[in-house]
A and B are shown apart, each in its own frame.
Chain A
Amino acid sequence: MVIKKGKFTIEGLENVQINIGKVISSDEEKEEPQGPTPAPDIHELRDWDMRLLKRYEPVYSPICDLCCYCTYGKCDLTGNKEGACGINQEAHQAREAMLRTLTGAAAHAGHGRHLLNHLIERFGADHPIDVGPSNIKAPVTQTVLGIKPETIGDFVPVLDYVEEQITQLLATTHIGQEGSAIDFESKALHAGMVDHVGMEVSDIIQISCLDMPKSQADAPLVDVGMGIIDSTKPVLLCIGHNVAAVTYIMDYMEEHDLFDKIELAAICCTAHDMTRVNPKAKVVGSLSKQLKYIRSGIPDLIIVDEQCIRADMMRETSKLHIPVIATNDKVMYGLPDRSNDDIDDIINDLASGDQPGVLLFDYDKVGELAPKLVMKMAPIRKEKGITALPSDEEFKKLASSCTQCGACVIGCPQGLEIDKAMEAAVEGDLTLFEELHDKCIGCGRCEFECPKDIPILNVIEKAAQKVIREEKGKVRTGRGQVGDPEIREEGVNLVMGTTPGIIAIIGCPNYPDGSRDVYEIAEEMLQRSYIVVTSGCSAMDIGMFKDDEGKTLYERYGGSFLKGNLLNTGSCVSNAHITATTIKVAAIFARRDISGNFEEIADYVMNRIGAVGLAWGGFTQKALSIGTGCNRLGIPVVLGPHGPKYRRAYTGKPYDKDKWNLLDARDGSVHNVEPAPEHLLISAENKAELMPLLAKLCFRPGDNNLGRMIKLTHYIELSEKYLGVLPDDWHIYVRSEADLPLAKREKLLKVLEEEHGWKIDWEKKKILEGPARKVDVSFQPTNVPRLCKGASE
C-alpha cells in the first residue's frame, strides 16, 4: 500500500490501536467558553489597539531622522519629507519602534524555543506543567490562544503561533509594505503581546522541569554582589539568560561535591535562574557588572548562553586568559565547534591558550568540562598573576595623564563627570570615583573616546575597590507565578483600598542616577503598602542596599502577592507572570472567561486594576517589548529618561475631554470620566518627577471610594514630598468628599472651594457641586461597545 498525504478511506478496522494524546471531559470544555479571538492574527485585535491609540496618541522622538533600509537611501525624513519608497517620518519611527519590540519578542521566543526543544528531549513532551497551587496555569497563553496547556508538549503549538506572528510582523518592515504609522503601532502592540506568550512558555517549562520555586513566597534568599565572590577559589562565571547548559554544570558539581571547591556565579538572568534551580549558586549582579567583572580578572572560566552578552567578550577575555565556552548558537563569536571532541583535548587547548574559547552544544560535556577546566585554570592564572586592574602606582600615573578634555564625559551615556573624578584622584581623593562606580553602567564607551588611551573603566574599578568589596546584598530567588490563592487573599486589600496599587519594577540597569534609585523607589512604595513586583536586573539591584540594621528589602518585606510585599518573579522571561497576575484578577474576581478573550480582559485590566510598570533603566529591546506587551493589556508603563530613545511614547491628553468617554456596561450609556490612567507609555526625567507619577498612574475609573481615597493620599503626599507642591490636577480625581485623603479633608475642601469654585456644605462637610461625575460603585466602565448589555458593536 502506498501512503500519501491526503484523505483515504478505511473500510474495516481490526486490531487497531488509536493513541489519544489527551482526554478532556466535556464539562471542562463547557467551563471555558472560547472568546472571539483565539490565537489572533495581526489584524484581529486591531480594533482594541485603535481604542487605545485614539486615547493614548503616539508621540515620536526620532533619535535618527534617516532611513537607511534600502539602496534608494539613505533618505532624510525631516521637514515632512518622504523617503524614496514613500514612507514618512512618522511611519518610519513607528516602524523602528515596532522592529525593536519585535527584536525583544524574538529574543524571548527564541530562548523559549531552545529551552522547549531541549526540555522535551530531556524530560519528554508529556512532562506535566507544575507552577504551584493554581487552577489557571498559563494565564497569558490561555488569554491569547485559548489553549489550556497541561504538559510541556502542549506548548509546541503555542510557540508555533508566536513564531508565525513574529515572522508576519517582521515581513511588514520590508520595503513597500505597511505605510501607516498607526498600523505599525498596532503591530508593535501585537509583538508586545506575543512576547508575553513567549516569555510565559519559557518560564513555565523551566519551572516545571527544573524544579524551580513554584509560586513560593518564601523562596530562599541568595547572596548578590561583586563583593560576595571568594576569589581564592576557582571562579566559574556564567553570563546570559538561558539556564539549560548551566544545569548540567550544577548537577555535576552536586554529584562530585564541588560546591565547596568552586565559586559558581553568574551575571544577568542566568544568575536568577541558576539560583532558582540551586540556591548554592551566587549572583554577581546585573548586566552593568559584566565588563567590570571580567576586567577584575577574577573569573577563571566564562560560560555564555544568549541575550545581553557583550559582543566584545573574546577581546576582553583573551587578554586575561579567561577561556570562554559558548553554549548556544545565538552567540558563537567565530569560535570552533568542539561538540564532538574529547573533553580532555578541549580542556588542554583552552588551558594552554591555544584556543581562546570553544563552542560546545553537548551539555553533558559542558557539565563535566566546565568544573574540571575551571579547577585547572585557577592555578595557571594565579601563577601568571593576571589582573586587568592597574597597580597603585599605575593608577596614579593613569589619573595624572588625564588632561580633563571631557571627551569621555560626552561619550558617556550617563554624562558622568569622569574628568573631575580623575582630577580628584590625582589629589588622592577617591570619593568621586566611588560614587561614579555605582552610576557607571560599565559600557566602556569612554575608553574609545579618550585621546590618551586611558583604560578608564579599569581606573574606575581600581578606585572603587573599597566599595566593591562591600557590595554584598541579598535577593530572593525568583518565585515564579502568583498563585490563585494569593490573589484571593489580596482581594480584600484591593477592594478595601488598603493596597493602593501594584508597581512592577522591571528591566535593565541603564538608570539615570545609579542603582540606588530602584532601591529607594521600591522602599518608598513598600512603605506605602503598594505591592512591588520585580524581576531581572532590577530585582538584583533592589537587593544591593541595606537599612540601618543591615537588612535588604527582601529581608524586611514579605514575598507574597500582598500589600506591602516585595516579589521577585525571577528572570526576564518571568515578567510574563506580572501580566498574568492581572489576568488572574479578572478571572478570579470577575469570573471573566479568559480563553481567547484578550480584548475583554485588557479592557477589565485597564479600567479596574491599578498596576503600573516601571522600566527605570530600560535599554534593551526586550525591555521595550515587555513594556509594549503590558500596554496592550491596558497596563501603563513608565520609562526612565533614556526612554525617548525607543522613539515613541503613548501619552494621554487630560485636557481633551472627548478622549475620556467610557461606557457603562450595564446599559451602554456614555460617561465622561477622569483621565485614568493618564498615560500608557511615558518617560520621567528624574526620580522626583517619577514618584507622584507612579501614584497617579494607579488611578482607575473603577476605583471605589476607599481605593480612590488611598490612591489620592499617596499621589498628593508624593508630590508634596518630591516636588514640594500640591499637584495641579489632584482635584480632577475627586468624585465626592469620601475620595479625599482622611488627614487632609478639611484643608482640601477649602482648596476646592477657593481655588476651583466647588460648592461645599460645611455643616456636613459634603461636596455639593464641582466633581465631573459622581461615584457609583456599580458602574461598569468599559471601552468596548460589544461588552455592554443589549448593545452590538
Chain B
Amino acid sequence: MADEFPFEISPMFEGERVRKDDMYVELAGPKSKGFELVSAVDIDEMEDGKFTLIGPDISDMEEGGRYPLAMIYRIAGELVEPDLEAIVERRNHDFQNYIQGVMHLNQRYDVWLRINKDSIAKGLNSFEDIAKATMMLFRNELPFIEKIDATYITDIEKVEDELAKAMERYAARDERTRNLHDEDVDTFYGCSLCQSFAPTSVCVITPDRIALCGAINWFDGRAAAKVDPEGPQFPIEKGELLDEIGGEYSGVNEVAQKLSGDEYNRIKIHSFFEFPHTSCGCFEVVGFYMPEVDGIGWVDRDYTGMAPNGLAFSTMAGQTGGGKQVIGFLGVGINYFRSPKFIQADGGWNRVVWMPKFLKDKVLADIPADIVDKVATEEDAQDLDTLKEFLKEKDHPVVKNWGADEEEEEDEESTGTSTAMPVFGMPDPAMLQNIPPMIGGGGGIKITLKNAKVSIDKIILSSKK
C-alpha cells in the first residue's frame, strides 16, 4: 500500500490546498494547458499497468515552475464500455486529491494541479508514482477495469495535439448524454443507498431522471451496477411501457412493489400527481401544488423566505420524504429541471407558476422560451393574490384552466379547486391556509355548544372596589 509510494494516500488529504508559497510546481491550470481523459479500448490493445511519460518528469522541473500536463488513461475489460469513460474520468479528481501534497482542481480540459514542496522533499520525483497510485485506486474501486495504462504528457506541443483530439471525444460524449433518453435504453437503475437512513426509499434513475439527491445519474448507476450487480445500485429491466407520458413501466412497478415491502406498487417517473416517485430526504428542491392557481411551485432549500402559499421550504419538505408517495408535494434534484421529460404527465413547464429567483436563474437556459417570463419569482409574487395577478397578466397557460367561475371560487374556497383536480383524492394544501389566526379574534363566528365540556384551568376572583 502506501509504503510503495513516497506519499500517503488518504481521503484525509482531499481538502488539502497547495498555496503559492508551498508550491513546488504547478501543472496545467488557467495559465497553461492540460486535460484528463479516460478511453475504453480493446483488452488486447494494451499492457496492464504500463506508464508512459512524454516530456520532462517532475525531477526535471524547476521549483516554482508552471508546466502543461495531459493525463490519458486507457481502460479495458469485459464489462468496460465507452459509456463508462466519464464516470471513471471524474474519479481522477478525487483520487489525486487523496495523495498527500497533490492538489487537483476541476475536470476535463480545465484541470489544474499543484504539488507542494513537502512531498518533493519526501521523495516524490516522478509522475510515475502519481499515475500508479491513481491507477491502483481506479482498479480497487472499479474492479470491472481489468487492464489500465496511463500516459502523461508534459510536452506542450504534444499536449496541444492530444487536447484537440480529446475535445472531440468530450463533444461526442456530451452529444451522447444529451441525446440519450428513457426510450433509448432497456435498462434503468435503482438506487437503495439511502436505505441506510431512509429504510423504504428507492430511487429510479433513468437517462431523463437523475437521482433526486443530484449525485447519481444513469451512467453512474450503470457503472456501480457493473461493479456489483447485487449492490445498492442495480439494473431494472424497463419491461412493458404502460404510460408513455407519465413514464410508467411494468419492470419499474415490480421493483417498486418489492423494494417498498408492498407499500406501493406503481411509480410514474415523470408525474407529479399520479403515483409520483418517492423521496428520501435529501432532495434539493420541493415542488408543491397550489390549487388556488392550479399550478405547481418549486422551492429550493437555500430559499429561506415563504412561498406564495405562505409556507417555507422546510414546512413543505416536511410533508414528503421517508420513501413514501405523497401527492401534492414532490422532491427532485435540480438537474431534473433540465430533463426534457420534466413532469411531462402534468404539463411540464406549462404547469410551473413560481420558483425562487435564485433557482430560476440557475435553470434559466432550460426553461422553454415561451414560458420563461411567465414563471413568477418572489420579486413578482409574494402571496396567492399577487401570484394570481401576475399569472393573469402574463397569460400563463394555467390561467385557461381557471374557468369562468373564478370569481365565485374566491368566495367559496372549499370547492374552489375542483376544475383541474386529478381524479384521486388530494390532500388540499389550501387547508393549511384556512387555519384561523392564532388568537381568537372572534369576528363574526357563530358557535353552537352541544354536549360541550368547558374546562377552565383557574378562575381568579377579585373583589370589586
- Seen from chain A, the residues whose Cβ lies within 8 Å of a Cβ on chain B are 3, 10, 13, 17-25, 27-28, 126, 133-136, 150, 483-485, 487-492, 494-496, 527-529, 564, 585, 587-592, 608-609, 665-666, 702-707, 710, 713-714, 717, 738, 742-747, 764-765, 777-778, 780, 789
Q: From A137, which residue of chain B is reached at the shortest CB distance?
A: B314
Of the listed stretches B49-57, B244-252, B403-411, B426-434, name the one at the interface; the rest are far from the partner chain.
B426-434
Q: Which of B195, B231, B322 gathers the greatest number of chain A CB atoms within 10 Å?
A: B195
Contact of B12 (CB < 8 Å), options: A494, A527, A587, A777? A527
Of the listed stretches B136-144, B268-276, B357-365, name the one at the interface; the rest are far from the partner chain.
B136-144
- Seen from chain B, the residues whose Cβ lies within 8 Å of a Cβ on chain A are 1-2, 9-12, 14-16, 98, 133, 136-137, 140-141, 143, 192-199, 213-215, 228, 231-232, 259, 261, 280-284, 301-302, 304, 312-315, 317-318, 321-324, 427, 431-432, 434-436, 438-440, 442, 447, 449, 454, 459, 461
Contact of A777 (CB < 8 Å), options: B1, B10, B196, B301? B196
Q: From B216, which residue of chain A is reached at the shortest CB distance?
A: A496
CB-defined contacts of B199 to chain A, threshold 8 Å? 590, 665, 778, 780
What is the minimal beta-carbon distance from A790 to any residue of chain B, in angstroms?
Answer: 11
CB-defined contacts of A738 to chain B, threshold 8 Å? 228, 231
With contacts A485-B314, A529-B14 known, is A704 near B193, CB below 8 A? yes
Q: Tell me the bound Cα distance from A23 to B447 in angstroms.
A: 15
CB-defined contacts of A13 to chain B, threshold 8 Å? 449
CB-defined contacts of A491 to chain B, threshold 8 Å? 194, 197, 213, 280-282
Q: Is the CB of A136 within 8 A of B304?
A: no
Contact of A488 (CB < 8 Å), options: B137, B283, B324? B283
What is the minimal beta-carbon distance from A211 to any residue of chain B, in angstroms?
Answer: 16
Contact of A589 (CB < 8 Å), options: B322, B435, B439? B322
Q: Is the CB of A488 within 8 A of B318?
A: no
Q: Tell me the bound Cα distance from A491 to B283 in angstroms.
A: 9
Besides A590-B197, A778-B192, 9 other A-B contacts (C-beta < 8 A): A18-B440, A134-B314, A485-B313, A491-B280, A491-B282, A495-B197, A527-B16, A564-B15, A743-B10
CB-defined contacts of B9 to chain A, threshold 8 Å? 743
Q: Is the CB of B440 within 8 A of A589?
A: no
Q: Tell me the bound Cα distance from A666 to B228 in angstroms.
A: 23
Q: From A136, which residue of chain B is reached at the shortest CB distance?
A: B318
Contact of B193 (CB < 8 Å), options: A495, A529, A590? A495
Q: Is the CB of A747 within 8 A of B198?
A: no
Q: Is the CB of B304 within 8 A of A133?
A: yes
What is the minimal beta-carbon distance from A201 to any residue of chain B, in angstroms?
Answer: 20
Q: Tell me the bound Cα distance from A665 to B432 in angstroms.
A: 34
Q: Is the CB of B15 within 8 A of A489?
A: no
With contacts A484-B317, A485-B301, A590-B198 known, is A25 near B322, CB below 8 A? no
With contacts A564-B15, A666-B261, A744-B2 known, is A608 near B282, CB below 8 A? no
A-B CB contact pairs (8 Å), 25 listed: A3-B459, A126-B439, A485-B317, A487-B281, A491-B197, A491-B280, A491-B282, A494-B197, A496-B193, A529-B14, A564-B15, A585-B197, A587-B318, A588-B317, A589-B280, A590-B199, A591-B321, A665-B199, A666-B261, A704-B193, A717-B10, A742-B141, A743-B2, A743-B98, A747-B1
Q: Is the CB of B281 within 8 A of A588?
A: yes
Q: Tell me the bound Cα distance from A585 to B137 in angstroms.
A: 32
Q: Tell me the bound Cα distance from A587 to B434 in angstroms.
A: 26
Q: Tell me the bound Cα distance from A492 to B197 in angstroms.
A: 10
Q: From A549, which residue of chain B is reached at the shortest CB distance?
A: B19
With contacts A135-B314, A742-B141, A778-B195 known, is A489 near B261, CB below 8 A? no
Q: Tell me the bound Cα distance from A130 to B324 in angstroms.
A: 29
What is the minimal beta-carbon distance from B258 to any residue of chain A, in angstroms?
Answer: 10
CB-defined contacts of A590 to chain B, threshold 8 Å? 197-199, 281, 322-323
Contact of B318 (CB < 8 Å), options: A10, A529, A588? A588
With contacts A23-B438, A738-B228, A745-B140 known, is A489 near B301, CB below 8 A? yes
CB-defined contacts of B427 to chain A, threshold 8 Å? 27
With contacts A20-B440, A491-B213 known, is A743 near B136, CB below 8 A? yes
Q: Tell me the bound Cα distance from A25 to B194 in angstroms.
A: 33
Q: Is the CB of B214 within 8 A of A589?
A: no
CB-defined contacts of A18 to chain B, threshold 8 Å? 440, 447, 454
Q: Tell me the bound Cα distance from A765 to B141 in angstroms.
A: 11
CB-defined contacts of A764 to chain B, threshold 8 Å? 143
Q: Which of B1, B98, B214, B282 gathers the greatest number of chain A CB atoms within 10 Å?
A: B282
What is the minimal beta-carbon distance from A159 to any residue of chain B, in angstroms?
Answer: 16
Q: From A23, which residue of chain B is reached at the shortest CB distance?
A: B436
What is the minimal beta-carbon distance from A22 to any residue of chain B, in angstroms?
Answer: 7
Q: Is the CB of A25 within 8 A of B431?
A: yes
CB-defined contacts of B213 to chain A, threshold 8 Å? 491-492, 495
Q: Which of A590, A702, A746 gathers the greatest number of chain B CB atoms within 10 Å?
A: A590
Q: Is the CB of B197 within 8 A of A589?
A: yes
Q: Tell me the bound Cα distance from A576 to B285 in angstroms.
A: 28
Q: Tell me the bound Cα distance from A490 to B322 in angstroms.
A: 15
What is the minimal beta-carbon distance from A559 to any residue of chain B, in angstroms?
Answer: 15
Q: Tell me the bound Cα distance from A376 to B211 in angstroms.
A: 67
Contact of A778 (CB < 8 Å), options: B1, B259, B439? B259
Q: Tell me the bound Cα distance from A665 to B313 in angstroms.
A: 31
CB-defined contacts of B194 to chain A, threshold 8 Å? 491, 495, 589
Q: From B99, which residue of chain A is reached at the shortest CB distance?
A: A743
With contacts A3-B459, A529-B14, A588-B281 known, is A703 near B196, CB below 8 A? yes
Q: Is the CB of A588 within 8 A of B2?
A: no
Q: Is the CB of A492 within 8 A of B313?
A: no
CB-defined contacts of B16 to chain A, threshold 8 Å? 527
Q: From B427, which residue of chain A is reached at the shortest CB distance?
A: A27
Q: Is the CB of A492 within 8 A of B214?
A: yes
CB-defined contacts of A706 to chain B, threshold 8 Å? 193
Q: Is the CB of B438 within 8 A of A713?
A: no
CB-defined contacts of B314 to chain A, threshold 8 Å? 133-135, 483-485
Q: From B322, which residue of chain A is reached at the shortest CB distance?
A: A591
Q: From B212, which residue of chain A is reached at the shortest CB distance?
A: A492
